[in-house]
Amino acid sequence: MTFKERAKELVAKMTLQEKLSQMRYDAPAIPRLGIPGYNWWNECLHGVARSGSATVFPQAIAMAASFDSELMERIGDAVSTEGRAKFNEYRKFGDTGIYQGINFFAPNINIFRDPRWGRGHETYGEDPCLTGRMAAGFVRGLQGKGKYRKADATLKHFAVHSGPENLRHGFDVNPSERDLRETYLWAFRYCIKHCEPSCVMGAYNRVYGEPCCGSPFLLEKTLREEFGFDGYVVSDCGAVCDFNENHGVTANAAESAALAVNSGCDLNCGSAYQWLKTSVALGLLSEEKVTRAVERLFEARIRLGMFDSDCEYDSIPYDVIECPEHLALSRKAAADSVVLLKNDGILPLDPKCRIAVIGPNADDRSVLTANYAGTPSEYVTVLEGIREAAGRRVYSSKGCHSFLMPGQYDENITRDAIITAAGADVVVMVMGLNPSMEGEQGDARNSGLDGDRADIELPQSQKYLFEEIMKLGKPVVFVNISGSAVALGEQDKRCAAVVQCFYPGAQGGRALADVLFGKVSPSGRLPVTFYASSADLPPFEDYSMENRTYRYFTGTPVYPFGHGLTYSEIREEWLDAERVVLENVGKTDTAYSVLRFENRPERRLVGFRKVFLKAGEKLTVDVPDDTAE
């Protein structure tokens, strides 16, 4: 029997009440049928999250900067290996609790349309092709290629969802047909076609007046009929309650639950589906629709091998957690995600020179792990990584608070930073943002913005420290750590080198040191546009793509999408639309991502490929059109 047939047979043995109970994310056991309790809610955005020890890989936006979908597949495989190892132990308790299962609510493939969106660092950037390719690699690695699924991946958030965070529970989005198809839905369609994700999560907002988790247009007509999706749909957590509490499209919770199930939302993350019995009793929901949803859910559980004794993943041992291979992969991914934006020749650094490491992000652990992260057994901050590489000739000072200017009676450490920098040959300034300044509603602690940013400027405290250090006349390597674009016009003009390091994971300090000291040639490219100022941005609430992202922006950015330097020089000679000759005419071996753009009618990425070229090497590379139907 197929997985689908087995699910149909098992569900046929359930009473209506038993079926309804299985549509909650915290599904209880059905002992008479040998079904253990199972909690569907787990996270693995960049490593197994919220479940104790785990390898913490770079944040999603950092991995996107690698422009390496094969690396993404390796990372997905490592993540699901650790997830399975944990699940194998947790299930010995007889059931699983929250963050203990193998149905993961990742990846986030929304388009990072505006750098002020606090959750943008959870995504793969502003381009649909890059997002689709990177997500598909992660999904393939996560789900595996065996008889059973290794884990379930969830594409989120469907659809047209990218802030503002404080409006997400009641916001209605009305994009143009072109923007909907070419920007907001493109990566979902690509992934469904190329990697068969198990699950899709609906978003909080409305689209064309319909709440996303209760939208026949999105869930039935678009996702299932048009895109051919054959998995299950889960609501974002609490989204169904929003139907009556915030959107005002239903009168009460029973109507909300019925609307969601009738529209194709099979599983509820939240509390709304406790009202399903009432929905059925009032005639708002048929048992046929309930059965359809539960069959999809049990097909997924059976496909994961939960009811069989021959699942190839049941023997994965717990000692794969943070094993040397996974830590090495995390370090490589972090190094590959570092983007060299400017270099006047000062990089790579001479480890024998005296180096002052200045700035609030230099020794901050939070910028390593970002959000939705596990707990690493070792954190290597930027300062620690540089000290490992250069030894005693490294001096440091925090210099300022991340975003607050000192009060009259507060410690003022700016002068300490000036003294430290004055005695150095080179100053490495490590500034930018941290996850308390950008994130999801309820997580970030920025006042009044619920995780979003008011602008794209560096905080005033950091601007002040930057000016004071620049007065010394020392060569400065400016390292910006952030999950989103920051206005770096002054740094581009005045610093010897500028480096973008997106939240790099637990091994991030070592990886950045690998790049700064030349052990690894940088090969990252920007997955988002770095604008000159907030004045370049349309209103945040406007979902039109006009003048947004590199495809439609009419101004001049400080650093464009796809920008990134290496320590060598790579020449490209395109033979035709698909084939390119790459030649490393420099003296340094380096990885390199070749990007294929076409005008349709605006410039857009249609393909990319990452290769490695030794000094003097020449390669002919095929870069197919990944956007072709």
Catalytic residue among 68, 127, 152, 236: 236
Is 236 labeled as catalytic in the residue annotation? yes
Pairing between β-strand 206-207 and β-strand 210-211 as defined by DSSP bridges: antiparallel
**Helix, coil or strand: residue 237:** coil
Given a contact cutoff of 8 angstroms between Cβ atoms, the answer to whether 102 and 42 are in contact is: yes
Instruction: Please report, for residues 50, 283, 419, the alpha-carbon distance to residue 191 in angstroms, rounded to integers and kept in the order given.
Output: 26, 37, 53
Q: Are 397 and 358 in contact (CB under 8 A)?
A: yes
567 contacts: CB under 8 Å, gap ≥ 6: 340, 343, 347, 348, 518, 521, 522, 586, 588, 590
Whether the bond into 601 is cis, omega within 30 of 0: yes
> Contact 99/50 with Cβ under 8 angstroms?
yes
Beta-carbon contacts of residue 576 (< 8 Å; ≥ 6 apart)? none
Q: Are strands 339-343 and 497-501 parallel, antiparallel or unpaired?
A: antiparallel
Q: Do residues 155 and 190 touch, judged by C-beta distance below 8 A?
A: no
Selection from 559, 19, 549 nearest residue 343 by Cα: 559
Long-range contacts from 456-460, C-beta under 8 angstroms, 24+ separation: 456/115, 456/116, 456/484, 456/485, 456/486, 456/487, 456/531, 456/533, 456/534, 456/537, 457/486, 457/487, 457/533, 457/534, 458/431, 458/432, 458/486, 458/487, 459/402, 459/403, 459/404, 460/403, 460/405
Give Cα 202 to chain centroid, integer Å.
17
Sheet of 206-207: strands edge to edge?
A: 172-173, 206-207, 210-211
What does the DSSP 8-state code read for residue 58? Answer: P
Please state, in angstroms and as integers, the Cα–Cα distance from residue 534 to each residue in 456, 486, 531, following that order. Answer: 6, 9, 7
Contacts of 467 (CB under 8 A, 6+ apart): none
C-alpha distances out from residue 341 to 199, 261, 512, 530, 567, Å: 37, 48, 14, 10, 11
- Residue 177's H or E segment, with its range, is helix 177-179
| 220/62 Cα distance (integer angstroms) | 33
Whole-angstrom distance, CA of residue 20 vs CA of residue 260: 13
Residue in the block written with tokens 């599904």: 27
User: What is Dmax (Cα atoms) for the chain?
Assistant: 78
Tokens of 539: 């209103």
Q: Which two tokens stand for residue 68?
A: 């390496």
Residues annotated catalytic, as ranges: 236
